[in-house]
Chains A and B, each alone.
Chain A
Amino acid sequence: MNGILLNIDWPFLIEKLVLIAIVVSISLVVAMYTTFAERKVAGLLQDRPGPNRAGPFGILQPLADGMKLFFKEEIIPNFSSKALFVLGPGLAMLTAIMTSAVIPWGDKIILPGGREMQLQIADVNIGILYVFAVVSLGVYGIMVGAWASNNKYSLMGGLRAASQIISYELALGLSLIALLMFTGTLSLKEMVVQQQQGGWGGLLSWNILKQPLGFFIFLVCAFAECNRTPFDLPEAENELIGGYHTEYSSMKLGFYLFSEYVNMFISSAVMVTLFFGGYDIPFLNEANLAVNTAAILGVVAFFIKIACFLFLFIWVRWTIPRFRYDQLMHLGWRIMIPLALFNMMATGAAILFFNK
Chain B
Amino acid sequence: MQSLTNRFQPVDRSPMTIWEKMYIPAIAKGMGITFSHIFKKNPTIQFPEKTRPFSPVFRGLHILNRDEEGRENCTACGLCAVACPAEAITMEAAERLPGEEHLYREEKYAAKYEINMLRCIFCGFCEDACPKDAIYLSESFMPSDYLRSQFIYKKEDLLIPDPKEDPEAYKKALGNRASQKKQKD
A and B touch in the complex (CB under 8 A): yes
Segment among A44-52, A96-104, A106-114 that sits at the interface with chain B:
A44-52
Q: Is A319 an interface residue (CB 8 A)?
A: yes
Q: How distant is the Cα of A238 from the Cα of B27 in the complex, in angstroms?
A: 22
Query: Is there contact, CB below 8 Å, between B30 and A45?
Result: no
Q: Which among B30, B42, B44 is the interface contact of A320 at CB below 8 angstroms?
A: B30
Q: Is A33 an interface residue (CB 8 A)?
A: no
Within 8 A of A (CB), among B30-60: 30-31, 33-35, 37-38, 40-44, 46
Known: A315-B35, A318-B34. A47 touches B27 (CB 8 A): no
Q: Is A316 an interface residue (CB 8 A)?
A: yes
29 contacts across the A-B interface (CB closer than 8 A): A43-B42, A44-B37, A44-B38, A45-B34, A45-B35, A45-B37, A45-B38, A46-B37, A47-B37, A47-B40, A47-B41, A47-B42, A47-B43, A48-B42, A49-B42, A49-B44, A49-B46, A52-B46, A315-B31, A315-B34, A315-B35, A316-B31, A318-B34, A319-B27, A319-B31, A319-B33, A320-B27, A320-B30, A320-B31
Interface residues of B toward A: which range?
Answer: 10 to 19
Smallest distance from the beta carbon of B22 to chain A beta carbons, Å? 9
**A318: nearest residue on chain B (CB-CB)?**
B34
Chain B neighbourhood of A44, CB < 8 A: 37-38
**B27: nearest residue on chain A (CB-CB)?**
A320
What 7 A-B pairs have minimum CB-CB distances, sorted nearest first?
A319-B34, A47-B42, A45-B34, A44-B38, A319-B30, A319-B31, A45-B37
Chain A neighbourhood of B31, CB < 8 A: 315-316, 319-320
* Residues of B bordering A, CB below 8 Å: 27, 30-31, 33-35, 37-38, 40-44, 46
Smallest distance from the beta carbon of B19 to chain A beta carbons, Å? 14
Q: How distant is the Cα of A315 from the Cα of B33 in the complex, in angstroms?
A: 11
Q: How distant is the Cα of A319 from the Cα of B46 in the complex, in angstroms?
A: 26
Known: A43-B42, A319-B30, A319-B31. 17 other contacts (CB 8 A): A44-B37, A45-B35, A45-B37, A45-B38, A46-B37, A47-B37, A47-B41, A47-B42, A47-B43, A48-B44, A49-B44, A52-B46, A316-B31, A318-B34, A319-B27, A319-B33, A319-B34
**B21: nearest residue on chain A (CB-CB)?**
A335
Chain A neighbourhood of B30, CB < 8 A: 319-320
**B29: nearest residue on chain A (CB-CB)?**
A319
**A316: nearest residue on chain B (CB-CB)?**
B31
Interface centre among A43, A46, A48, A319 (most CB of B within 10 A): A319
Q: How distant is the Cα of A324 from the Cα of B43 in the complex, in angstroms?
A: 34
**A230: nearest residue on chain B (CB-CB)?**
B27
Chain A neighbourhood of B40, CB < 8 A: 47
Interface centre among B27, B30, B42, B43 (most CB of A within 10 A): B42
Q: How distant is the Cα of A188 from the Cα of B38 in the complex, in angstroms?
A: 35
